[in-house]
Homo-oligomer: A and B are copies of this chain.
Amino acid sequence: MPERAIGIFDSGVGGLTVLRELRSQIPDEPLVYLGDTARVPYGTKSSSTVLRYAHEAARFLLDQRVKFLVVACNTASAVALNGLAERYQVPVIGVIEPGARRALEVTRNGRIGVIGTEGTIRSGAYERALLAGRSDVVVHAAACPLFVPLAEEGWACHEVARLAAHAYLAPLLQKKIDTLVLGCTHYPLLKQMLQEVVGPDVRLVDSAQATAKAVASRLGEYRLLCQTTPAPLPRYFVTDIPDRFKRVGGAFLGKELHGVETVSLD
């Protein structure tokens, strides 16, 4: 089992920020990534639709005989994680729980902001995870639908992104949050600009980093850490043709993407 790969899935390229963190934190692990690029984005779709897509993605990765499943998509984590964990035999981890836990560690005043897609915010999943961990925190959430296209456009530091960030974050800053959870796997690309907009007194929580840390710790717990080195290069599967995934994803990873195959889930 340990020599098997970790399966990671997302609606598109965003989950590559989690893959990047996994590569950096546990470089010996073989990785298989699935981006459902024919149906991206999940963030504006209903829970029942996202649930169906998540099960299809999980089944595909299990067919690749993965030892561990990372739902590297906030929307899918919000609506499908429990169902996936119940149905399948491998350990399943999402991005919400680790991000929420990290936010509870770093907040001092107990006022936590959460930003994400419409679907993630509407689900209230971060709020539930945060309040389950510590019932006296106050959570202020905001959907930021423009951040994903801004990140994919390569406009992370563009004045347009800065202005949008001011518009989205002003209400949260008024509530005196001291911690802001980046509740979407695209947002780490905007981190520098977001830090400038919120100022040095607000700590940003990168759920991609927190998730990779949680995966490493769970793999150790289950004695699933890979002993063979070096790890092969990650394998990438997408549901649409790979051109755009390679181009935008390459920018996400900071290097060229190779070995991307198209598969059908529906």
Contact = CB atoms under 8 A, between A and B. Distances in A.
Contact of A241 (B46, B163, B164): B46
Those 6 A-B pairs whose CB atoms lie nearest each other, nearest first: A46-B241, A160-B164, A160-B163, A266-B266, A38-B49, A49-B240
A266 B38 CA distance: 13
A76 to B, nearest CB: 14
A163 B153 contact: no
Contacts of A153: 145-146
Interface residues of A, number: 29
A158 B46 CA distance: 27
A99 B263 CA distance: 36
Nearest to A47: B241
Contacts of A266: 266
Interface string A244-266: 10000000000000000000001
Interface string A26-57: 00000000000111100011101100000000
Contacts of A160: 146, 160, 163-164, 167
User: Which of A40, A159, A163, A164 has its CB near the most chain B CB atoms (within 10 A)?
Assistant: A164
A196 to B, nearest CB: 17
Contacts of A164: 160
Contacts of A241: 46, 48-49
A253 to B, nearest CB: 19
A73 to B, nearest CB: 16
